[in-house]
Structure 1
Amino acid sequence: MYRWMRCYSNTMNLTDMVYVGSYFYNKMEFLVYNSTVSEYVGYFDVGMQWAKQKNENAAHMEYQRNTSYRLCNINARLHREYRAIVAQPDVKLSLVRSSERNKPAMLMCSAYNFYPKLIRVTWYRDGRRATSDVSATEELADGDWYYQIHSHLEFTPKAGEKISCVVEHASLKEPLEVVWESSMASSERTKVAIGAAGLMLGLLVCSAGLLYYRKKTQEWTAEHIATAPLATDNLPCDLTRL
C-alpha cells in the first residue's frame, strides 16, 4: 500500500492550484481526495468505507482542505524562486587541433559557470545547422552549483565559410551566437600581426640606415675631391703652352 500526493497548476501565480491525494493497494487506486471538490471519493467496498469515515471527520477534513496551500502553494513558490536563480554562461570558441592540408580541424565551443543545468549548444555552418561531425560532453558539475559543457565540431576549413556556435540557456533572453571569424586561430593571428609589425619596423630601420649611408658617402666624396691634388702636378712637361 502507498499514498501518492501531487499538485497541479497552469498559472505562474498559482491561483488555480489543485491538490490530489491517492491511496493505492496492490497498485490499484481505491481512495482519492481532490481539493476541487474538497472530499474523498472511494472505489470498491473498502474505498467507499474509508471515504465515508474521512468525510464525516470534521477536524480531518479541515486539515485536509489546508493541504493545498500548505503542501502545494508554499513549495511551488519556493521552487519558482529557486528556478529564478540563474547564471549566464561564459562562452568561448577555440581551435583545439591545428588544421593541416586535406585533414579536418576541430573547433570547441565551451560554456562555463552557468546555472541551472539545462543548456543547448548548436553548431551552424553558413546559416545551416550542423548535425554531422558534432560531439559534446554532458553538463559537468563544477562542485560550486555551476556547470560547464564542451561541444566539438570536426570540419575542413573552407575559404569564406561562416561557422558559429549558438548557446541557449534560461539566463539568456535570446540565443547567444559566437562566430568563428576565420580558419586561423586568434593566437596565430596575433603572431602574424606581430610578425608583420616587426617586418615593417625592420624596413623602416633599414631605409633610415641606407639614407644615412648615402648621405655620409656623398659628404666623404665631396671632401675627398676638394683636397685631392691635381693630376697635372706630375706631368713631365708643361701642357699649358700647347
Structure 2
Amino acid sequence: MVASSLQISSLYTLCLRGLVLVSLLMCSSKTSFGVDGYLLQMIGDCEYSDSSMTDMLYSQRHVFNQQEFLHYDSKIKKYVGNTACGVKNAETWNKDKDMMAQLLGDVDRYCKYNMGLYRGGTTDREIPPSVRVSSIKPFSSQHQTMLICYVIGFYPREIKVTWLRNGAEVMADVSSSELLPDGDWTYQIHSYLELTPQSGDSYTCRVEHSSLAEAIEETWDPAMPESKRNKIIIGTSGIVLGLVISAAGLIYYKKKATGRILVPSD
C-alpha cells in the first residue's frame, strides 16, 4: 500500500455539540487543521497490490478530533458518512456533480501520475532504513527498562523488526507502533522491548528489509546505562578540553619567558 501526495479542495460543515464550523481547506496527503481546540484532518491514500497498478484505488478519510466521520473511495464512487454529521456532509457532497466527476479521475490524475513522476516510478525503488536504539524508564511496568528501536526512512513498507537477547529471539514483552508514513514515500516504525537488565546480557534490534544485503543489528549493552554513558562522554570531553587549555597556557608562558630580558639590580 502506498500513500500518494494530492491536493483536494473540500468544504466542511462539522456538527459537534451544536457547533457548526465551515472551513475551506487545501489538503495534502495528510492535513491537520485546528480551530479553538478542535482538530480536523483529511488523509488521502492511493492503494494497490501489484506493480501493474490495475487495481489501484483512491480513498479519503475525514477525521474530526480522532473520530472518522466521513470517507470516500473510488470503488464505491461516493462519500459515506460514519456519524450523523458525516451523513449530512455526504448527502451534500454526493450531489455536487463537479466534485464527484473530479474524484472519479483522481486515480489517474493523482495516484498513477505522481507515481510516474517520483524518481521514475516508485514500484522498483528501495531505500534502506536507519536504525537507532535508546532506553527509557517505563511509566508503569514490572520491568526496569524499556528499549525503543527507531527504524526510519525506508521503502517499500514491508519490513521485519525483531529483538534478540544474547543472540536468541525475544518474543515476550515486545510491542510495536503502527507503520507510520513520513509523507515523502518512506515509512518508519518503532519497536519496544520491556526488560529487567541482567549482568552479562546484551540486547539487539535486528532489522530485515529488501533494500539491505544483510540485516542491520543495533545492540544495547545493559552493563552501561545510557545516562551513565552520557556522563562518561561529558566527563571525558571536559578532561580533554582542560588539557588543551593547560597546554595552550604553558606554550604562552614559555614564549613570554623567552622574550624577557633580565637586568641585574645594583
TM > 0.5 fold call:
no
| TM-score, length of structure 1 as denominator length | 0.44
Q: Give the TM-score taking structure 2 as reference length.
A: 0.41
Rg (Cα) greater in structure: 1
Return the structure number with greater strand share: 2
Name the one with the larger helix percent. Answer: 1
